[in-house]
Structure 1
């Protein structure tokens, strides 16, 4: 497995894991309380911060574990990276349109913020999964 594929795996696992904890915590409160009463800002900012920190630490650990691979990138890696990011952009754009629709329909900020957060999470997952598939099955 190339180092770039490891990076894609790390990004996908962290995005999925942190967002699952966030959404389970915050959306689990929707049945019991009004969305205007749910404190979601601090948990969302915490989830974003934790995801960033865990990604950085995991990439450093992966680089230390295989120092010879960390700086190696070839043309195929660059093509796969572009292909993955392109897939992620489509997902992110769709999420942005959904958040805009929620805004125009005058939904609560809770739903708009969570739609945007979900869009970024799905962007990370779509990008990473596309890269992993390209590494595994060919590009």
Structure 2
């Protein structure tokens, strides 16, 4: 585990944000899935009141990511006050690459939603497909960024 976070120095702002999003994403998405499955015990999943947990998941995910990024930034700033907020061309290239990866998964989710609408699927499946698409896009984009920071852009 410590090898994952061993950067050989201080992480740049964008890499810390990618890690924060990845960590928070795993936790809040897991919480959402558990919440929905607990509600569904013994009844069809389409009867679950999914909207409040979904909105809480989105809100908590955003707030937690911001808080972790700020706290991590403060800690990094204490260790390296001169380099904490600096970014360069490599950071911008990695950010663009991560965004392209995310966009691809959002498009795939959008196509899935269109297909579900075409067959008249329940709103539960349509909403959760789009939610899952956004979640997967964010997670895969963060993984792509972290890998690019660790191994470089190809």
- TM category (shorter chain) comes to over 0.9
Structure 2 spans left out of the alignment, 5+ residues: 1-10
CA distance in 1 between partners of 2:49 and 2:58 (Å): 15
- 1:120 is aligned to 2:130: no
Alignment of 1:1-139 (within 5 A): 1-30=11-40, 32-67=42-77, 68=81, 69-139=83-153
1:96, distance to aligned residue in structure 2 (A): 0.9
Kept after mapping to 2: 8 A contact 1:16/1:121: no
CA distance in 1 between partners of 2:34 and 2:112 (Å): 21
1:53, distance to aligned residue in structure 2 (A): 0.7
Structure with the greater alpha carbon radius of gyration:
2
1:37, distance to aligned residue in structure 2 (A): 2.2
CA distance in 2 between partners of 1:29 and 1:124 (Å): 26
Kept after mapping to 2: 8 A contact 1:35/1:108: no
Kept after mapping to 1: 8 A contact 2:12/2:85: no
CA distance in 2 between partners of 1:70 and 1:63 (Å): 7
> What's the TM-score, normalizing by structure 1?
0.93
SS at match of 1:24: helix
SS at match of 1:73: coil
SS at match of 2:42: coil
1:47, distance to aligned residue in structure 2 (A): 0.5
1:89, distance to aligned residue in structure 2 (A): 0.5
Question: Number of paired residues?
Answer: 139
> What's the TM-score, normalizing by structure 2?
0.84
